[in-house]
Chains A and B, each alone.
Chain A
Amino acid sequence: MRTTVFTGARIVDPSRGVDEIGAVIVDNGRIAAAGADALNQGAPAGAEMIDCFGKTIVPGLVDGRVFVGEPGAEHRETLASASLAAAAGGVTSFVMMPDTDPAIDDIALVEFVLRTARDTACVNVHPAAAITKNLDGREMTEFGLLREAGAVAFTDGRHTIASSLVMRRALTYARDFDAVIAHETQDADLGASGVMNEGLYASWLGLSGIPREAELIPLERDLALARLTRGAYHAAKISTAMSAAAIARAKADGARVTAGVSINHLSLNENDIGEYRTFFRLSPPLRAEDDRAAMVEALRDGTIDIVVSSHDPQDVDTKRLPFADAAAGAIGLETLLPVALRLYHNGDVPLLRLIEVLSTAPARLFGLPGGTLAPGAPADLALVDLDEPWIVSESGLRSRSKNTCFEGARLQGKVLQTMVAGRTVFSA
Chain B
Amino acid sequence: MTAATHPPLFAHRHLLGIRDLSPADIEFLLDRADEAVAISRRHEKKTSTLRGRTQINLFYEASTRTQSSFELAGKRLGADVMNMSVGSSSVKKGETLIDTAMTLNAMRPDILIIRHQSAGAAALLAQKVGCSVVNAGDGAHEHPTQALLDALTIRRARGPIARLVVAICGDVLHSRVARSNILLLNALGATVRVVAPSTLLPSGIERMGVEVHRSMADGLKGADVVMMLRLQRERMAGAFVPSVREYFRYFGLDAEKLKAAKEDALVMHPGPMNRGVEIASEIADGPQSVIQEQVEMGVAVRMAVMEVLLDPRRNAVGAAP
Contacts and interface: CB of A to CB of B under 8 A. Distances in A.
Contacts of B119: 205-207, 276, 322-324
Interface stretch (A115-123, A195-203, A343-351): A195-203
Interface centre among A205, A206, A321, A324 (most CB of B within 10 A): A206
Given A205-B119, A322-B119, 20 more contacts: A199-B203, A199-B204, A203-B202, A203-B203, A203-B205, A204-B19, A205-B120, A206-B141, A206-B179, A207-B140, A208-B140, A275-B120, A276-B119, A276-B124, A321-B97, A321-B118, A322-B139, A323-B120, A324-B119, A325-B118
A198 B121 CA distance: 20
Contacts of A200: 203-204, 207-208
B139 A320 contact: no
Given A203-B208, A320-B96, A209 B118 contact: no
B204 A322 contact: no
B278 interface: no
Interface in B113-155: 116, 118-121, 123-124, 138-142
Interface in B148-178: 176
Contacts of B124: 276, 321-322
Interface in B194-246: 202-205, 207-208
B123 A276 contact: yes
A204 B203 contact: no
Interface residues of B, number: 24
Contact of A324 (B118, B176, B179, B202): B118
B98 interface: yes
Interface of A: 198-209, 211, 275-276, 317, 320-325
B208 A324 contact: no
A60 B97 CA distance: 43
B98 to A, nearest CB: 5
Given A205-B141, A206-B141, A320-B98, A276 B203 contact: no
A204 B209 CA distance: 11
Across the A-B interface, give the 6 residue pairs with the lowest CB-CB distance, nearest first: A200-B204, A206-B141, A276-B120, A322-B118, A206-B140, A203-B202
Nearest to A316: B98
A196 to B, nearest CB: 10
Contacts of A207: 119-120, 139-141
A206 B208 contact: no
Nearest to A207: B119
Contacts of B204: 199-201, 203
A199 B203 CA distance: 5
A204 B204 CA distance: 9
A202 B202 CA distance: 9
A323 B207 contact: no
B139 A206 contact: yes
Interface centre among A201, A203, A325 (most CB of B within 10 A): A203
Given A322-B116, A322-B124, A198 B203 contact: yes
Given A204-B179, A206-B141, A206-B176, A322 B208 contact: no
B203 A322 contact: no
B143 to A, nearest CB: 10
Nearest to B125: A322
A328 to B, nearest CB: 15
B110 to A, nearest CB: 24
A205 B208 CA distance: 12
B218 to A, nearest CB: 22
A242 to B, nearest CB: 16
11 contacts: A200-B204, A206-B142, A207-B140, A208-B140, A276-B119, A276-B123, A321-B97, A321-B124, A322-B97, A323-B119, A324-B120
Contacts of B116: 322
Nearest to B143: A206
Contacts of B123: 275-276
Nearest to A273: B120
A412 B204 CA distance: 36
A337 B119 CA distance: 34
A207 to B, nearest CB: 5
A384 B205 CA distance: 48
A100 B118 CA distance: 28
A203 B97 CA distance: 23
Nearest to B202: A203
A199 B205 CA distance: 9
A325 B120 CA distance: 10
B96 A202 contact: no
Contacts of B121: 322
Contacts of B98: 320-321
Contacts of B205: 203
Nearest to A324: B118
A304 B120 CA distance: 35
A198 B204 CA distance: 9
